[in-house]
Structure 1
Amino acid sequence: MIILNTQGIVLKAVRYKENDVILTLFTRKLGKVAALAKGAKRNKSALLSSSQLFSYSNYTLKKQGSMYNVSQSDIIKSFYDLAYDIEAFSYATYVTKLVENTTLENQTNNRLFILLAQTLYLYTQQDVDKKFITRAFELKFLDYMGLKPVVNRCSSCNSKDLNNLTFNVHEGGVLCSQCSQNAEENLKVDVTTIKLMEYILSNDILQCSKAKVSKYITYELEKILKKYLSVYIDNVNFKSLHLLQSLENIKGVDKGE
């Protein structure tokens, strides 16, 4: 029997039988794994809080056959408060689903693990632009998955003369004015947006959260990254963001915007 201690974040929790839960954990030492938390649904279970969605805990995992069992856990941060904020909950659901759907089992990615933990923490903070944080997460996620868009030079000819630049998803980043003439589906983009992308890629997300970014630049970044993710990542699930957008549209109508 293999016994391992590791930090992990709950990406998914599915009830099994009456009181058990099958967890999809994103862990530091093992990457993504499935683990059975026996009796976790009982009110007095020691595994109850660490078996909730988004929970960040230390887990003792025992491998029996092809399955891990959670034998012990100690909560680091529950992120339980996310359930009371529809915006934070929607974004948290989106980023955890993105990690769940794109990472392979038993493949570690410590940079992505830290990014996810820090992002969930930021979603609990009141003075943070959660929409911008989600865009920063997406960009850094692409970097840590080996799919970073080129933003500091022309992705076609490597020229650093980026006057009148465009962004081309299929070319993998920005294009200079000359190369953009030979490409289709170019996206017009503000140079400030490209500079922001450079900044995000060069700093951790906690530092990025301190930036004051206009709604227009955040919107432009969202437009670019949504297209980029749709091309390079299979089965991106935008459902939780669609729900959030619907709620924002309703609020806009109520305010007469």
Structure 2
Amino acid sequence: MIILNTQGIVLKSIRYKENDLILTLFTRKLGKIAVIAKGAKSNKSSLLSSSQLFAYSDYTLKKQGSMYRITQSDIIKSFYDLSYDLEAFSYATYITKLVEGSTLENQTNNRLFILLAQTLYLYTQENIDKKFVTRAFELKFLDYIGFKPIVTKCISCQSKNLNNSVFNVYEGGTLCSKCSSHFEHNFKIDLTTIKLMEYILSNDILKCSKAKVSKYILYELENTLKRYLKVYIDNINFKSLNLLKSMQDYKGVDKGD
């Protein structure tokens, strides 16, 4: 019998039988795993709060066949309040699905675990640019799963002179003005955007969240990362972000009336 303790974050929750849940957890010690939370749907269950989406808890797990069963849990942070904020909930849903869909079972990634916990925390804070925090998460996520874009030098000649440089998703980063003519699928990118990407990759997300970024640079960063993610992440799902944008656009039109 294998029993272990680990911190974990709920990425997904599926009802199983009447009061049980099957959870997908992203944990410190085991990476992504499937667990059974017996009786967690019951209002009297001690597992109720730690079985909700986004919950960050200490779990005691008992191995049963190919799965684990939660025998005990202590909530660290529920993040339940995210469900009351459409923007925060949409972004939190997006990043948890990104982690769930892009990580292998039983493969630990402690840097990514910390990044996910810190980002969920930031979504609960006031006066935080949640869109920028999400872009910072995407960029650091790409780094932590092995697809870090090169933004400190030309990926072809290694020159650090990036004035008038371009970005090439398929080559994995920036190309200087001299090398750009040798490659297809380049697109222009502002040097400030490149410097911002370098800053994000060099600092933790809590520090990055304090940066003040113009709407234009944020828009360019978003488009760059969206192109990059589509190439390097299989079956990426932007559904929650598209829904959020539609709701925000609708509110904008409504206010205009």
Q: Do these two structures clear the TM 0.5 threshold for a shared fold by scoring above it?
A: yes
Following superposition, the deviation at residue 252 of structure 1 comes to 2.2
Residue deviations 1:155-199 (CA, integer Å, cap 9, x gap): 111111111101110110000011111111211111100000000
Amino acid in structure 1 at the alignment position of 2:157: C
CA distance in 1, matches of 2:174, 2:67: 45
Structure 2 distance, partners of 1:247, 1:233, is 26
- What corresponds to 2:223 in structure 1? 223
Matches within 5 A, 1:55-70: 55-70=55-70
Correspondence for 1:71: 71
Q: Does 1:54 align with 2:54?
A: yes
Q: Which residue of 2 aligns with 1:162?
A: 162
Work out the CA distance in 2 between the residues paired with 1:172 and 1:77. Answer: 36
Q: Distance in 1 between matches of 2:109 and 2:249?
A: 37
- 1:68-115 CA-partner distances (Å, limit 9, x unpaired): 000000000000000000000000000000000000000000000000
Aligned-partner Cα distance in 1 for 2:167–2:10:
35
Matched, 1:44 2:39: no
Q: Secondary structure at the match of 1:178?
A: coil
Specify the code of the residue in structure 1 equivalent to 2:247: L
Name the residue aligned to 2:13: 13
For 1:116, the aligned partner's letter is: L
For residue 251 of structure 1, give the secondary structure of its aligned residue in structure 2. helix
Aligned partner of 2:210 in structure 1 is: 210
Task: Provide the alpha-carbon RMSD of the alignment.
Answer: 0.9
Q: How much does 1:216 deviate?
A: 1.0
Q: Does 1:181 align with 2:209?
A: no
Aligned to 2:134: 134
Which residue does 1:99 correspond to in 2? Answer: 99
Superposed displacement of residue 256, structure 1: 2.9
- Alpha-carbon distance in 1 for matches of 2:117, 2:47: 20
Q: Which secondary structure does the structure 1 equivalent of 2:182 belong to?
A: coil
User: What SS does the aligned partner of 1:58 have?
Assistant: strand
- In the alignment, the residues of structure 1 paired with residue 129 and residue 107 of structure 2 have an alpha-carbon distance, to the nearest angstrom, of 31
Structure 2: tracts of 5 or more residues without a match: none
Report the CA distance between 1:253 and its aligned residue: 1.4
Aligned residues: 257
Which residue identity does 1:140 align to in structure 2? K
Paired position in structure 2 for 1:152: 152
Aligned equivalents of 2:75, 2:115: Cα separation in 1: 18
- Match in the other structure for 1:253: 253
Question: SS of the counterpart of 1:177?
Answer: coil
Aligned AA (2:226): K
Are 1:3 and 2:30 an aligned pair? no
Structure 1: tracts of 5 or more residues without a match: none
2:176 & 2:89 partners in 1: Cα distance?
A: 39
Paired residue for 2:87? Answer: 87
Cα distance in 2, alignment partners of residues 82 and 174 from structure 1: 36
Q: Following the alignment from structure 2 to structure 1, what is the Cα–Cα distance between the partners of residues 156 and 234?
A: 24
Q: CA deviation at 1:255?
A: 3.2
Distance in structure 2 (CA, Å) of the matches to 1:184 and 1:251: 39
Name the TM-score, length of structure 1 as normaliser: 0.99
1:113-128 matches, cutoff 5 A: 113-128=113-128
Q: Percent identity?
A: 78
Distance across 2 between alignment mates of 1:202 and 1:126 = 24
What's the offset of the Cα at 1:250? Answer: 1.1
